[in-house]
Amino acid sequence: MSNVHHFYPGLDGVVAAETKISFLDTVQGEIVIKGFDLIELSKKYGYLDIVHLLLEDKLPNQEEKNRLENKLKSNYEIQVALYEVFKLLPEQTHPMDALRTGISFISGYDEKIDDRSPDVNKERAYRLLGTVPNIVANSYQILTKKEPVHPDKDLSYSANFFYMITSRKPTAIQEEIFDLSLVLYSEHEMPNSTFTSRVIASTQSDLYGALTGAVASLKGNLHGGANEAVMHMLLQAKTVEQFEKLLENKLLNKEKIMGFGHRVYMKKIDPRALMMKEALKQLSDIQGDDRLYRMCEAGEKVLEREKGLYPNLDYYAAPVYWMLGIPIPLYTPIFFGARTVGLCTHVMEQHDNNHLFRPRVNYIGERHALSK
C-alpha cells in the first residue's frame, strides 16, 4: 500500500458530503435549494419561506408562515447576562468576534445541550434564528457605546432585523431589498463555513460549537468578510475613473480584488450578484444617486477585461447595504444571520447521518531515527 495519496489543495473539486439540502448545478446554472432554484425562489418568496423550506422541507402556506414567524418572535430576547458580556469586550472587537462570543455564551443556557436528536436540534435552530439578529445588533450597539435596541415584534422578521441594526424602521422597499439579501445569503451548498460546521458536528459536538466555528470561518475576507472589504475598496474612490484606476493598480500589484471570483463560478457571474445588482439599481433610482452603481459596473468591466473574473454576491451586497444605511462592520454578521438557517440544516443533516471527518495527509517533512 502506498503512503502517497492524491492531493487536492483546498479540497478543490472534492465531494465532501451527500446532501438533500442544496447543490450548485453549474451545468443547468442553478443554485438548487431543496429541489428549487434559489433565484426563482427569490423572485416570489421571502426569507421566512426559505427558512420553512430548509427546516420543514416544504414552502409554507400563510398559516404555517405565521406560526413560524411567531415562533421566531418568541425567541427574540437574549439573556441579560449577554449584555454584560458584550460590555466586557474590548472596544475594537469586530462584530463577527462578538457574534462568535455571543453564540458560544448562550450554549450554556441550553438544558438539553447533549441531545442531538432531530426535533431538539430543530427547536434549537429556531431559537438561534430568533436570537442571532439580536446578538448581531446589540453586540454592535454596545461596542459602539449606544443603548441596546429592543426587538419590535410588530415588525416582520426582516424588518425587525433591519430596525435593530440601524435603529430605523425600514421603508417598504428597504424591507423588501434587505429580505432579498437574506434570501440570497441563506444557503449555498458547501462553502468553507458550512464545511467547518459539518466538520465540527461530525465529532458529535453541538450546534452552538458548529456555528461558533462557522462564524470564525465566515469572517475571513476570502469568504464572508469580502462584503465589508468591497465597501472599504469602493470608498477609496470617488469617481468611476478613480475606481477603474484603483482596480488596475491592485491587479498590477497582484492583489486580489474583493467581491470577484468564486471557487465554483470562477468564469461566470454568481447569479445572486445579478439580483443584488438589480436591487442596487432600484435604490440608486429611488435615491437619485447612481454613483456607486456606475462604479460597480465599471469595476465589473475592468475585471472581465483584465482577468476574465466576475462578481460574486458580496460585490453587489456591499453597496446595497451601504445605500440601505447599514454600518459596514455589520455586513458580514448579516451574512451570518441569513446563513444561520443553512448552517443549522447542515449540522442537523450531519448529526442524522454521521461519519467523522478525518482526512489524511501526504507527509513532506523529514524523517529521523533517534540516536540511541
Ligand X SMILES: O=C([O-])CC(=O)C(=O)O
Query: Which residues of the shown chain bind ligand X in the complex (CB under 6 A)?
Result: 188, 191, 223, 262-263, 312-313
Q: Please tell me whether residue 10 binds ligand ACO under the rule CB under 6 A.
A: yes
Q: Choosing from 206, 314, 346, 351, which is the catalytic residue?
A: 314
305, 307, 325, 352: which one contacts ligand ACO (CB under 6 A)?
307
| Closer Cβ to ligand ACO, 52 or 223, answer by number | 223
Beta strands in 90-173 (DSSP E): none
Q: Which residue is nearest to ligand X (CB)?
A: 191
Residue 259 binding: pick among ligand ACO, ligand X, none (C-beta 5-8 Å cut-off by kind): ligand ACO
Provide the residue type at 268 as one letter. K
Q: How many helices (H) and strands (E) does the chain have?
A: 16, 3
181, 312, 332, 340: which one contacts ligand ACO (CB under 6 A)?
312
Residue 181 binding: pick among ligand X, ligand ACO, none (C-beta 5-8 Å cut-off by kind): none
How many residues interact with ligand ACO (rule CB under 6 A)? 18
DSSP string, 85-110: HHHHS-TT--HHHHHHHHHHHHGGG-
- Quote the CA–CA distance of 138 and 323 in Å, as a whole number: 22
| Least Cβ distance, residue 238 to ligand ACO (angstroms) | 22
- Quote the CA–CA distance of 334 and 312 in Å, as a whole number: 16
* 314 classed as catalytic: yes
Residue 343 C-alpha cell reads as: 448552517
* 206 classed as catalytic: no
226, 295, 347, 348: which one contacts ligand ACO (CB under 6 A)?
226
| Least Cβ distance, residue 227 to ligand ACO (angstroms) | 7
Q: Please tell me whether residue 60 binds ligand ACO under the rule CB under 6 A.
A: no
- Please, what sign has the CA dihedral across residues 181, 316, 20, 117? negative
Residue 160, CA distances (Å) to 82, 131, 175, 252, 368 in order: 20, 12, 9, 44, 61
* 232 classed as catalytic: no
Q: 260 has which bridge partners?
A: 311
Q: Return the half-sphere exposure (C-beta side, CA atoms, 13 A cut-off) of residue 108.
A: 8
Restricted to residues 242-261, the positions that interact with ligand ACO (CB under 6 A) are: 256-261
| Least Cβ distance, residue 132 to ligand ACO (angstroms) | 18
| Closer Cβ to ligand ACO, 39 or 113, answer by number | 39
Determine how many CB atoms are found less than 10 A away from the CB of residue 372: 3
The residues annotated with a catalytic role in the active site are 223, 262, 314
> What is the contact surface with ligand ACO in residues (CB under 6 A)?
10, 222-224, 226, 256-263, 307, 309, 312-314
